[in-house]
Structure 1
Amino acid sequence: MTETQTFSIASIPGDGIGGEVVAAGLRVLDTVAKLSGGAVDFDVTEFPWSSEYYLENGHYIPEGGLDQLQKHDAIYFGAVGSSDVADHTSLWGLRLAITQPFDQWANIRPVTFLPGVESPLRKADDTDLDWIVVRENSEGEYAGMGGRNLSGRGPGNEVALQTSLHTEKGCERIIRFAFDLARTRTTKKVSCVTKSNAQQFGMVLWDEVFARVAKDYPEVETESVLVDAMSAKFILHPEDLSVVVASNLHADILSDLGSALAGSLGLAASANLNPERRFPSMFEPVHGSAPDIAGQGVSNPIGAISSASLMLDQFGLTAEAEEVRQAVSNVTEAGILPRDLGGDSTTVEVTEAIVTQLEAIHAQSTPFPNPTAVS
């Protein structure tokens, strides 16, 4: 009899469409478990932390909440953001309150051009485009250092300082992560993004570390590009990209641009990784809470489902992760698209179509392997 390997997942649906897309992702994971023939199971515990929870209790994460999360193998996150709570309060109260203490320092955001999805890029019509944005996820512009002072001087005299933190250790570990990732790809190239002509301390340190680390990877092609020039390159020469590594803020902005070029932010998946596995990693779509469409059943579940595939990769279930990605690709190619991609399919309809494709793909695949964790 096959011994079941159980993975424990902490689910945090959060706000807006978060609950809808997380439910879609869990539906797909349930299918993966069913198709495993008992080899794999996912034990999901839901945490009700949201802006509504914050307004009722005065905090997003209760005392001891991080200790509860740490017991799980991974965290599956929906979205945070509400018109009733300031954006910086919700972001720092929930998402960053997890990624920072859990040292989830590597954020990967694939830019995937799916068949059947119209891109605003003309090149996408006849060019294979596929790159990954690697985001430094623990310091940089999101370090939270600074403050507001001198308000006592009266209106118009307050001063706000926001300090960007770049450490040599932080730069090196994310840059090495990017190079190691590039080694696994067909096009072995890393594009380094900074603004070192204007930010002469932190960004120059980043550039210097990049140049030093690059010497350890002679087989990987490199380039260093200023962030404004890289924004243009995303549009004009995206075929030159493979792995793009950048600071917290720059990579956040560039990855959103990449997803928009692929067709919609609703497609964007991400993984907040603690590569040393001292803490659980967190997987989330990057589209936000989208309160304007919450509850209508029209949200795009692909970003969340693709994030679940990244979770499967982290669990060592790489074949199953690839089956999920292929199922998504088959569904979009068939024209089963949610509203943000120009279609009229509901969240549930897209999800069930992906499940149906997943079952069909798996029926033609090899037997479910014995899963082993990978770093």
Structure 2
Amino acid sequence: MTRIAVIPGDGIGPEVVEQAVLTLDEFRLGLDFDFLDHVNADTYLRTDVALSDEDVARVASSRSALLGAIGDPRVGSPAYGRGVLLRLRFDLDLYVNYRPAKLLSDRLSPLRRDRARAVDCVVIRENTEGLYTGLGGSLRPGGGHEIALDIDLSTHRGTARVVDHAFSVARREVCMVDKANAVEHGGGLWQRCWRTAAARHPDMATRHMYVDAAAMRMVTDPTTFDVIVTNNSYGDILSDVASAVAGGIGTAASANLNPERGFGLYEPVHGSAPDIAGKQVANPIGAILSAGLLLADLGHTAEAAALRHAVARAVTEGETTPDLGGPLDTRKAGQAVRARL
């Protein structure tokens, strides 16, 4: 049996994860799901512990992990979200954030021109460094003389390995995005690692763009991109833009990977959406497609392809939740995908 850790989490997380797990079960692959139902805001509010050492060990001992969403309006501090998501990324060294964006149906695109709608790209985001390490501090907080400092950390090892991974998954081109014209030191390090990696792949097309220009191109003609590789904060933003032009954040999947270990944490991008939690109107496609990424990384490529095809058919035929124009609730939208497998 292949053990998969499952963290349903908060808000709509349990609702969409349920549909993802049921879809994985449909393939009869002998997956054994280890549910960590207690990892949520209720537990954090009661114990002040976001993720225990024992929880991390359970996830680490699994073959892969599937996560729903983390976040609750009752928690006023970012310590809870950081204590789950960032701790897993940092402790398990999940240094690649892999976010594909592919248009499932023309009717979902907000882009006016037909030619620009064929979105099929991947944003590779460095996942363990950058502005999200928590390095920094504040001086004289709460007053008119307050000083706040957040450090944007880049290392040669961290940058080089994520750039190398981008080349390993690219089909036709790797575009490196930075802001080296304004962020001199970190940008210079990314530039040097980029040039070294590009020299090792002379047959792969390469391109460099500043992040503001890349954001503009993403909303005018996203078809020009194959693989984008960039730092943590730029990748966070660009991947959300990519998901918007590819049909909306409800369909966006992601994987947090350590390619050397072969371990991945898979999660939809949409967050916990507390305003619709418990109403069974949440879109399960992002979670189901994240489960498809899990299947592919486990080596079940035919099953992963079948899952993606079933999702695309359900979307094209309008069997979706209301955010995509369909009439179905969360459970029935999941059933619509499974009926097409």
TM-score normalised by structure 1 residue count: 0.88
Please point out which of 29, 32, 43 is paired with 1:43. Answer: 32
Report the CA distance between 1:251 and its aligned residue.
Answer: 0.6
Match of 1:179 among 149, 164, 167: 167
Q: Which residue of 1 aligns with 2:261?
A: 277
Identify the match of residue 26 of structure 1 among 21, 30, 34.
Answer: 21
Give 1:133 deviation, angstroms: 0.5
CA distance 1:126–1:248, change in 2 (3 Å): closer
Instruction: Say which SS state the counterpart of residue 151 (structure 2) adopts.
Output: strand
Q: 1:86-133 CA distances to partner (integer Å, 9 max, x unpaired)?
A: 362222111111111100001100011002642111235675320001
For residue 10 of structure 1, what is the aligned residue in structure 2?
A: 5
Could you tell me which of 97, 107, 132 is aligned with 1:142? 132
Q: Work out whether 1:157 is the aligned partner of 2:145.
A: yes
Question: Do structure 1's residue 304 and structure 2's residue 284 form an aligned pair?
Answer: no
**Quick one: which of 275, 278, 286 aligns to 1:292?**
275
8 Å contact kept, 1:80–1:288: yes
Q: Which residue of 2 aligns with 1:91?
A: 81
- Residue 166 (str. 1) matches residue 179 (str. 2): no
Q: 2:334 matched to which residue of 1?
A: 351
Contact 1:117–1:332, Cα closer than 8 Å, also in 2: no
Aligned residues: 340
| Equivalent-residue separation in structure 2 for 1:328 and 1:257 (angstroms) | 21
Q: Residue 292 of structure 1: SS of its match in structure 2?
A: helix
The percent identity for this pair of structures is 39
Instruction: Answer yes or no: is 1:327 the counterpart of 2:310.
Output: yes
Query: Could you tell me the TM-score, scaled by structure 2's length?
Result: 0.96
Deviation digits for residues 253-286 of structure 1, max 9, x if unmatched? 01111111112100110000011117x3200001
Q: CA deviation at 1:149?
A: 2.6
Gapped regions of structure 2 (runs ≥ 5): none
Partner of 2:178: 194
The SS at the match of 2:177 is strand
User: 2:321 corresponds to which residue?
Assistant: 338
RMSD, aligned CA: 1.4
CA 1:212 to 1:63, structure 2 compared with 1: closer, same or farther past 3 Å? Answer: closer
Tell me, in whole angstroms, the C-alpha distance in 2 between the residues paired with 1:343 and 1:132.
Answer: 27
* Distance (whole Å) between structure 2 residues aligned to residue 263 and residue 127 of structure 1: 10
Whether the 8 Å CA contact 2:116–2:220 is kept in 1: the answer is no
Contact kept? 1:265, 1:286, Cα under 8 Å: yes
Which consecutive aligned stretches of 4+ in structure 1 deviate over 6 angstroms post-superposition? none
1:331 aligned partner, one-letter code: A
1:119-160 per-position Cα deviation (integer Å, ceiling 9, x unaligned): 111235675320001010010111211112334xx7222322
Structure 2 distance, partners of 1:114, 1:160, is 42
Closer, same or farther in 2 for the Cα pair 1:159/1:352, shift >3 Å? same
Whole-angstrom CA distance in 2 between matches of 1:223 and 1:126: 19
Distance in 2 of aligned mates of 1:126 and 1:198: 30
Q: Where in structure 1 are there 5+ consecutive unaligned residues?
A: 1-5, 34-39, 359-375
Q: 1:70 aligns with which of 53, 60, 79?
A: 60
Amino acid at match of 1:27: L
